[in-house]
Amino acid sequence: MRENGLKILWRDGKSAVNGWLGIPSSFSAEIMAQAGWDSLTIDMQHGIVGYQTAVTMLQAISTTDVVPMVRVPWLEPGIIMKSLDAGAYGVICPMISNRAQAEELISYCRYAPAGTRSFGPVRAMIYGGADYPQRADDTVLAIAMIETAEAMDNLEEIIGTPGLDAVYIGPSDLSLALGHPPRQDWPDGPVYEAQERILAVAKRHGVVAGIHNVTAEYALRMIKLGFQLVTIASDTRLLGVKAAAEVATVRQGLAG
Amino acid sequence: MRENGLKILWRDGKSAVNGWLGIPSSFSAEIMAQAGWDSLTIDMQHGIVGYQTAVTMLQAISTTDVVPMVRVPWLEPGIIMKSLDAGAYGVICPMISNRAQAEELISYCRYAPAGTRSFGPVRAMIYGGADYPQRADDTVLAIAMIETAEAMDNLEEIIGTPGLDAVYIGPSDLSLALGHPPRQDWPDGPVYEAQERILAVAKRHGVVAGIHNVTAEYALRMIKLGFQLVTIASDTRLLGVKAAAEVATVRQGLAG
Amino acid sequence: MRENGLKILWRDGKSAVNGWLGIPSSFSAEIMAQAGWDSLTIDMQHGIVGYQTAVTMLQAISTTDVVPMVRVPWLEPGIIMKSLDAGAYGVICPMISNRAQAEELISYCRYAPAGTRSFGPVRAMIYGGADYPQRADDTVLAIAMIETAEAMDNLEEIIGTPGLDAVYIGPSDLSLALGHPPRQDWPDGPVYEAQERILAVAKRHGVVAGIHNVTAEYALRMIKLGFQLVTIASDTRLLGVKAAAEVATVRQGLAG
Amino acid sequence: MRENGLKILWRDGKSAVNGWLGIPSSFSAEIMAQAGWDSLTIDMQHGIVGYQTAVTMLQAISTTDVVPMVRVPWLEPGIIMKSLDAGAYGVICPMISNRAQAEELISYCRYAPAGTRSFGPVRAMIYGGADYPQRADDTVLAIAMIETAEAMDNLEEIIGTPGLDAVYIGPSDLSLALGHPPRQDWPDGPVYEAQERILAVAKRHGVVAGIHNVTAEYALRMIKLGFQLVTIASDTRLLGVKAAAEVATVRQGLAG
Amino acid sequence: MRENGLKILWRDGKSAVNGWLGIPSSFSAEIMAQAGWDSLTIDMQHGIVGYQTAVTMLQAISTTDVVPMVRVPWLEPGIIMKSLDAGAYGVICPMISNRAQAEELISYCRYAPAGTRSFGPVRAMIYGGADYPQRADDTVLAIAMIETAEAMDNLEEIIGTPGLDAVYIGPSDLSLALGHPPRQDWPDGPVYEAQERILAVAKRHGVVAGIHNVTAEYALRMIKLGFQLVTIASDTRLLGVKAAAEVATVRQGLAG
Amino acid sequence: MRENGLKILWRDGKSAVNGWLGIPSSFSAEIMAQAGWDSLTIDMQHGIVGYQTAVTMLQAISTTDVVPMVRVPWLEPGIIMKSLDAGAYGVICPMISNRAQAEELISYCRYAPAGTRSFGPVRAMIYGGADYPQRADDTVLAIAMIETAEAMDNLEEIIGTPGLDAVYIGPSDLSLALGHPPRQDWPDGPVYEAQERILAVAKRHGVVAGIHNVTAEYALRMIKLGFQLVTIASDTRLLGVKAAAEVATVRQGLAG
């Protein structure tokens, strides 16, 4: 079976640089897959991507060695299992707030008797290989987002859930949860400290910690702190920011 | 009828900054439409965009005041007229090489008796307004690309074609036509000089000159030379370049 | 932030005339958006519309000032939040039967600490504006459908739920719930009386009442009764009825 | 092979009532297919319909006995033959202006040695039956639109082209061609007289005459004149007009 | 109302041969609909099919008399009801493990007061006919998959649920549930015996038993055992196996 | 640049086994790409595939080493160049009947000064590599179909066209051209002899000869004759035949 590149990186103590796909297009996905990321996550939650389009994006990513993941809209078994059957090698699930939810997420990602995932890896076997049935449970990543007030109260229980591969911080929701405006890349302050606390608990449990970031600079800082799954912005933001900057350069050149 | 913003800019002697859409998605188009461009051109030639998707992109652009244009795949009447009916306010046609082709292009963009465009502006009337039938011929832009060796031999005849709104240089094809490797943003040399010559002929005929560029800096230089329709890169390139740069920043930070 | 036109109408004591979209096409949506409605609701429940298509329909509506809403398939958080992130300014949720469900619905439409909506308004910020994060909770409508027997038993509790913007009657399901064949536009009788009762409770709680209707005449009557959100038929019905009528006119003219 | 219902109607001296599809959706097509039309024409010229969507619309029509036709964007062999292979039982081609073009059109619709249509009726055999190869040439309709000034000069030559099944008048383009504003349903005047002249020539040649109309009333009048293929409006217009009328009824009721 | 062909077969004591659709395309669905199946099931769980595509596949099947069914991704009311509204005549629901789940499934497929299905059969009435509202509850099949360890413990309770039309065995998941590798077409052994046991309980309750098979040979054997709903492979498998066999024939011929 | 695997096979005197894609789906394409073919040709002529879908199919093929080709609808420059820009490594063009058409085809596949292909390999550079501009002309295959009576008269001229990589026989059209019913896999007779003649001329000119076949057996025979590009059936036929055979096995088993 094709190995999960993120597991290899993590086994070696390295960090994975993750890209984020919110544009519903297999071609933008293919462009992103050429940019040097270790993994790409199709955002089916806040991204503008439905299932059918996501499949073509998974195919586009499969033209390379980049590890394909999805963020699912919610802790709902239908879409989680469909994403895995379509070949996702990791599921990032938002808003996991307690142990029961964490167990549910993991259950959806593992076959019986370990979990409740239904068997039928129609595209996943093409992507992963003929021994996918035997090795999927050890290959596919179950990743819980930590971003609610309730989750902060249940950190140990969530992160200690057997079978959880990683936790992933959504700083905007975490900000709201802690009574702050929704933003990312906090330089310090209570949200930053909560991030550190999550990282510390994860380290203690031997669970990988990940975080969503806007800039490469902040992502780098997070890696140095110990995060091993760092995302930089998203295709929507990269495109919007770069385009606006180019236009501004011309406008300023004309005005100057 | 909704006026064509490019015509207003040109009437005032200004230049239009044009964005380029090769990603087949109405959402990336909407993101681009927020970035400050004067116009956006959906590239149905080298972009990865078919007609049905292009329509949703035209709709996305129509949520703003940005002028929607298309580059068509070839001098083929079916797709040119379909694009206009879908609400494009300008048609950039590749590889116009002689007077007859220029006349053909203009003919496809004008109703009888001025041309051979067939009547049925099903979406164009929604976008343009109820008097579209009366005013379309004066509003919709017919733009001929100058990029072949034959065109360089027929510059005066092409640019002098009555009804032509603008010419648009494709530097890569022009490079090949002149025996050079396909590239853009030539700082000087024979392709650069050909660009200047096209501009000069256009100026003499009172026809707007446009050019495809990679960088904002070169686009700015072209505006200062007198080009009034300058494109910067494309969504595909902006996304790919920006993404690769972000990843590289992290990788270098880790290596450093 | 772009204001919610329905809130303005309601603040002024006026009623909103709402159109209904069941055809999965951004172009039929754009045609409907030209017809004079105050709002348009994309029906993701009984309409033939999936999420990815719904986004292009939201874009099409965004070319106008018509307020975009969705009816979601069920009280399921994934699709409710995805719809809001895509720019819907209102969510109509079917089959709300008790206070807990009403609270759940509202929760999915509000950010922490008011609710459990996850933050990531990727398209909603484009549509609504940069201050969407601050003002979304006061702008986005949470609307509960009243159409089950259980709901009729829990009217006060449901309608009194803090944060509920409106209730919306689905007469067909309400008919079934009360033991009658599924129809709309009841002239009188028990379903009609149930409608009146829902309206009365809503009025007492200061909550807007809405209702689904087939004909303009009935919608008008409902407005005069006090309903402030009235829907007329749907694009599927308008098209089917009008087409059949035109054909019949010819057939009868030939037979006559 | 499934017979062509239009041929049966015409053989019996009857007229066919044709619907027109400009909304790119298999579901609006299926709704229209329930409305009583003899045939439905997917408008790939001025309608907002590309090839891939058109196929799903042909499938939707195939759930009924309504005869499926297409109007192609232009006299271009690629799309004409693709439409036939997808199961269209008739091709309406715009802007046929002379004998050579009429011959070309017919040629694209007939197999060798009668024509130049390439063999591969992949979906057409499913729709038509196993003997499609033997009977297609006698079943599939080649219909030339008469709507240009040049065509009016070449009426006899065009209509007399062997193998032409019908001519079809596009009144808007014909109006422009004759120096009038583009409209349909002319009550009298030069365009009306041109319509009569086309009909007369067609009758003399034993070729069916068809015409595009806005209203059922006008279509009825045209049938009584002798036209055997009459279209009423289009789905886009039926929907837009009906929706606007319903909204207006409510607005007026409130104002009154 | 159009009758459900499976009910007729079963009433007569016959078995239905069911095809399985995992390719997301209305054209492959139409090809399959020509192959002689009694019914076709669109697999929205492990198949690569989302809702919007499934609708076009239902339309394609509706060009024939083959009975259209869906397998839904999970026991989630949104997608179950949407599938029925789109015209599915049967719902196969995975992983039903106890009486409560079976009741929930049936409830989603029946209108009040029998169940909780919401009324709005927008496409289903086109497919089924005008009396769909009255007859749907007796026509639409609710089919529970038996494939978990918990279900084996609750066989009587599940199969005895009033209103359940059939049970359907998923041998791969059942294998996992019983501690065996996921496979189908077991010739004997514990999974085979479990299949027999499920059949026996179904027979005792007068409920139809169905099973998923790989080969026609095994399906035939299952029919002879008493299964009345037998599936053979899937379009994805049929295509993949047949293609590989053809290539192998050539390769071997060359090597031989 | 990624080499063209067909060129390598041919250079070594071997034959390529080619699959044929007429189902418009990236997933059926991916399944076919796993079946062992040397190349896959997306049939945009008689297949039910439009451009936008074809791109996703090219991406699916790109997950493997199978060489991606397209058959274009006609000798039309727009779609030929769009296909190449999307990453096709070969273009099979139908109905080439004379030297001028062959030259035109080749011209569309080659950059200036060798041809008239316009420069903009947006996806092709991703697939082929950074040196695509320099090496494309030597990598991309231009393949002319020989299938008309006129072509049989111009065999030498067509096949002798400089730059032509291969000819490809369409037996059905060739049958019609020679006055026979359209079929493939002729065991002998005039069409068979014409095939031999085409092969002989191709051999003499050092041009690869290819042929479309239904069965593996015939394809094998053709390879042994000297054809170096042999297609077996198509996905549509493989699926339809295999499905019908499976159903028949069950029906016969029951009847027996």
- What residue segments make up the domains of chain F, in order of their start? 5-255
DSSP C114: T
Residues 6+ apart with CB under 8 A from A188: none
Confidence of residue B256 (pLDDT cuts 50, 70, 90): confident
CA-wise closest residue to B83 among B91, B95, B75: B91
DSSP A38: S
With an 8 Å Cβ cutoff, are E133 and C45 in contact? no
Give the distance, in angstroms, between the CA of residue F131 and the centroid of all CA atoms in the same chain.
25
The residue ranges of chain F whose pLDDT is under 50 are none
For chain B, the 3-state helix, strand and coil shares in percent, each to the nearest 5, are 50, 15, 35
**pLDDT at residue C256, rounded to an integer:** 76
Q: Are E116 and E107 a contacting pair, CB within 8 Å?
A: yes
Nearest to A123 among E48, E181, E182 (CB): E48
With an 8 Å Cβ cutoff, are D36 and C248 in contact? yes
In whole angstroms, what is the distance from residue F138 CA to residue F163 CA?
9
Nearest to B46 among F76, F77, F120 (CB): F120
Is the confidence at residue E23, as pLDDT, over 80? Answer: yes
In whole angstroms, what is the distance from residue D228 CA to residue F240 CA?
39
With an 8 Å Cβ cutoff, are C148 and E77 in contact? no
With an 8 Å Cβ cutoff, are F113 and B149 in contact? yes
With an 8 Å Cβ cutoff, are A247 and B219 in contact? no
For residue E254, which phi and psi values (nearest 5 degrees)?
-75, -35
Instruction: Dump pLDDT digits (tens) for B89-131.
Output: 999 999 999 999 999 999 999 999 999 999 999 999 999 999 9
C contacts of D248 (beta carbons < 8 Å): 36
* C-alpha triplet F168, F170, F174: angle, nearest 5°: 120
In whole angstroms, what is the distance from residue D214 CA to residue A79 CA?
46
Instruction: Dump pLDDT digits (tens) for B4-45.
Output: 999 999 999 999 999 999 999 999 999 999 999 999 999 999
* C-alpha triplet B207, B213, B216: angle, nearest 5°: 110
In whole angstroms, what is the distance from residue D230 CA to residue D223 CA?
7
Chains that touch B (3 or more CB pairs under 8 A): A, C, D, F
Instruction: Dump pLDDT digits (tens) for E56-98.
Output: 999 999 999 999 999 999 999 999 999 999 999 999 999 999 9
For D185: left if phi > 0, alpha if psi spans -120 to 50, otherwise beta; the answer is left
With an 8 Å Cβ cutoff, are B73 and F81 in contact? yes
B:F CB pairs within 8 Å? 75
Amino acid at D37: W
In whole angstroms, what is the distance from residue E154 CA to residue C27 CA?
50
For B206: left if phi > 0, alpha if psi spans -120 to 50, otherwise beta; the answer is left
Instruction: Dump pLDDT digits (tens) for B193-218.
Output: 999 999 999 999 999 999 999 999 99
The owner of tokens 């199969």 is: E159
For D132, nearest residue in chain F (alpha carbons): F182
CA-wise closest residue to D43 among D66, D18, D20: D20
Nearest to E118 among C50, C53, C95 (CB): C95
CA-wise closest residue to A36 among A63, A13, A8, A17: A17
Is the ipTM value over 0.95, yes or no?
A: yes
State the smallest CA–CA distance between residue B255 and chain C in angstroms: 32
State the smallest CA–CA distance between residue A146 and chain C in angstroms: 12
In whole angstroms, what is the distance from residue F21 CA to residue F46 CA?
10
Instruction: Dump pLDDT digits (tens) for C80-124.
Output: 999 999 999 999 999 999 999 999 999 999 999 999 999 999 999
Confidence of residue E256 (pLDDT cuts 50, 70, 90): confident
The DSSP secondary structure of D201-231, one letter per residue, reads HHHHHT-EEEEEESSHHHHHHHHHHT-SEEE
Mean pLDDT in residue range E133-161: 98
For B63, nearest residue in chain C (alpha carbons): C63
Q: For chain F, list residues whose CB is within 8 angstroms of any CB belonging to chain B.
A: 50-52, 55, 76-79, 81-82, 85-86, 111-113, 116, 118-123, 133-134
Q: Are B21 and B106 a contacting pair, CB within 8 Å?
A: no
With an 8 Å Cβ cutoff, are E149 and A112 in contact? yes
Chains that touch F (3 or more CB pairs under 8 A): A, B, D, E
Residues 6+ apart with CB under 8 A from F204: none
**pLDDT at residue A256, rounded to an integer:** 76
Chains that touch D (3 or more CB pairs under 8 A): B, C, E, F
Element (H, E) at C106: helix C99-108
CA-wise closest residue to B166 among B236, B114, B91, B223: B91
With an 8 Å Cβ cutoff, are C119 and A50 in contact? no
C46 part of the active site: yes
Please report how many Cα atoms fall inside a 13 Å half-sphere around the Cα of residue B170, on the Cβ side: 28
For C170, nearest residue in chain E (alpha carbons): E119
Tell me which residues of B are annotated as active site: 46
**CA dihedral in degrees (A173, A178, A182, A186; nearest 10)?**
-100
Q: Which two tokens stand for residue D159?
A: 């209509």
With an 8 Å Cβ cutoff, are B17 and A251 in contact? yes
List Cα–Cα distances, B30 to C86, C123, F56, in angstroms: 12, 9, 22
The owner of tokens 């495109």 is: A239
D contacts of B112 (beta carbons < 8 Å): 148-149, 173, 176-177
With an 8 Å Cβ cutoff, are E247 and F220 in contact? no
In whole angstroms, what is the distance from residue B125 CA to residue C51 CA?
28
Residues 6+ apart with CB under 8 A from F71: F41, F42, F43, F44, F45, F46, F47, F91, F92, F93, F94, F145
**CA dihedral in degrees (C230, C233, C238, C241; nearest 10)?**
-140
Residue of E80, E82, E84, E108 to mutate, interface with C, max C Cβ within 10 Å: E82
Pairing of strands E16-21, D39-43: unpaired
C contacts of E51 (beta carbons < 8 Å): 50
Q: Are B214 and B232 a contacting pair, CB within 8 Å?
A: yes
For residue E78, list its beta bridge partners.
none
Q: Which two tokens stand for residue A224?
A: 């140095």
Crossing angle, helix C26-33 and helix C51-61, to 10 degrees? 30
Q: Which two tokens stand for residue C146?
A: 């009243």
State the smallest CA–CA distance between residue F149 and chain D in angstroms: 9
Q: Are C50 and E51 a contacting pair, CB within 8 Å?
A: yes
Instruction: Report the percentage of chain C scoring pLDDT > 70.
Output: 100
Q: Are A173 and C119 a contacting pair, CB within 8 Å?
A: yes
Q: How many residues does chain C have?
A: 256
In whole angstroms, what is the distance from residue F32 CA to residue F30 CA?
5
B5-255 adopts what CATH topology?
Answer: TIM Barrel (3.20.20)
Respond yes or no on whether the N-terminal peptide bond of residue B113 is cis (omega within 30° of 0).
yes
What are the helix (H) ranges across A109-159? 124-128, 132-139, 149-153, 155-159
With an 8 Å Cβ cutoff, are E123 and D27 in contact? yes
The owner of tokens 């949703």 is: B56
**pLDDT at residue F256, rounded to an integer:** 76
SS3 F21: strand
What is the block-wise mean pLDDT of chain D (256 residues), using blocks of 10 residues? 97 98 98 98 98 98 98 98 98 98 98 98 98 98 98 98 98 98 97 98 98 98 98 97 98 92
What is the block-wise mean pLDDT of chain A (256 residues), using blocks of 10 residues? 97 98 98 98 98 98 98 98 98 98 98 98 98 98 98 98 98 98 97 98 98 98 98 97 97 91
In whole angstroms, what is the distance from residue C209 CA to residue C202 CA?
6
The owner of tokens 């081609």 is: D93
**pLDDT at residue A169, rounded to an integer:** 98
State the smallest CA–CA distance between residue D128 and chain E in angstroms: 12
What are the helix (H) ranges across chain E? 5-11, 26-32, 51-61, 77-85, 99-108, 124-128, 132-139, 149-153, 155-159, 171-177, 190-205, 216-225, 235-255
Q: Which two tokens stand for residue F163?
A: 């730059």
B contacts of D177 (beta carbons < 8 Å): 112-113
